[in-house]
């Protein structure tokens, strides 16, 4: 069964450094998303992306964040200058164009900012 | 803004019993209300979706109900098994596929 993959599984970085989290969505899906989950808290929406554009973003997704689909398979989340409070699990998700109700989540990248 | 509330942080039940989890929303009635399962350190896994105009949806041992008068959805697992132990998330699928999650209910099925 096709699945969303994410790399790396864990990332440790120093405060102020840039990080890029990578995702490979399911191949025929057209809608892509990033979510984050701070330890012990709920899953929070960051951004949705369709047709090479951001469809919607939350108040968390400020100027420090950006997303990109650099080629036909990858979907990336960049954090320009990481802060301690960016430490969280980051989940990528994708959905097909005809069944937008269902999102398929990847296993996540655990980001630790020191 | 919409809030999704799952009032029970944890629920322990005996194997074989029916688990019932509650989800309340505070504002508008979601067009689509979803239920996910999340295991520790893993991403949410979609289980069921119920539309605003549907009263009930079933899938194998799972059942979801939607009561727009009470602003509530109930999620049932019948004949529960220890393998059903996980955190269950209720979510509102909003515009542009933005999903608003509840905090989840951690279910523990005791053998």
Express each pLDDT in B15-39 by its tens digit: 999 999 999 988 777 778 899 999 9
Per cent of chain B over pLDDT 70 is: 95
Q: What is the mean pLDDT of residues B78-88?
A: 97
Helix or strand holding residue B47 (H, E): strand B45-51
Is some CB atom of chain A closer than 8 A to the CB atom of B57? no
Beta-strand runs (E) in A1-114: 5-7, 10-13, 19-24, 31-37, 43-50, 53-57, 65-68, 75-79, 88-95, 104-105, 109-113
Domain residue spans of chain B? 4-110
Per cent of chain B over pLDDT 90 is: 62
The nearest alpha carbon in chain A to B106 belongs to A40
User: What band does B97 get if pLDDT is binned at 50, 70 and 90?
Assistant: low
Name every residue whose Cβ is closer than 8 Å to that of residue A10 and which is 6 or more positions away in sequence: A109, A110, A112
As a whole number of angstroms, the distance between CA B13 and CA A76 comes to 41
Q: Which fold has domain B4-110?
A: Immunoglobulin-like (2.60.40)
CB contact under 8 A, B96 and A44: no
CB contact under 8 A, A101 and B99: no
**CB < 8 Å from A in window 35-54 of B:** 38, 41-46, 49
Pick from B54, B94, B96 the residue to mutate for testing the A interface (most A CBs within 10 Å): B96
Which tokens belong to B55? 């009263």
**Amino acid B62: pLDDT:** 97
Q: Which fold has domain A5-113?
A: Immunoglobulin-like (2.60.40)
Name every residue whose Cβ is closer than 8 Å to that of residue B69 and which is 6 or more positions away in sequence: none
């Amino acid at each position: 069964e096709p699945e969303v993959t994410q790399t790396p599984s864990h990332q440790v970085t120093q405060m102020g450094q840039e990080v890029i989290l990578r995702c490979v969505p399911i191949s025929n899906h057209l809608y892509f998303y990033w979510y984050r989950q701070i330890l012990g808290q709920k899953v929070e929406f960051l951004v949705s992306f369709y047709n090479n554009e951001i469809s919607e973003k939350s108040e968390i997704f400020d100027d420090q964040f950006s997303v990109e689909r650099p080629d036909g398979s990858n979907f990336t989340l960049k954090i320009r200058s990481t802060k301690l409070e960016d430490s969280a699990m980051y989940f990528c998700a994708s959905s097909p164009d005809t069944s937008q109700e269902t999102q398929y989540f990847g296993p996540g990248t655990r980001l630790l900012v020191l | 803004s919409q809030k999704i509330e799952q009032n029970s942080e944890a629920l322990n039940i005996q194997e074989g019993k029916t688990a019932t989890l509650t989800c309340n929303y505070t504002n508008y009635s979601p067009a689509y209300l979803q239920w996910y399962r999340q295991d520790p350190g893993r991403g949410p896994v979609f289980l069921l979706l119920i539309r605003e105009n549907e009263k009930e949806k079933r899938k194998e041992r799972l059942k979801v109900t939607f009561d727009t008068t009470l602003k509530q959805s109930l999620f049932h697992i019948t004949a529960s098994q220890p393998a059903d132990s996980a955190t269950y998330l209720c979510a509102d699928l909003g515009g542009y596929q933005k999903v608003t999650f509840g905090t989840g209910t951690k279910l523990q099925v005791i053998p």
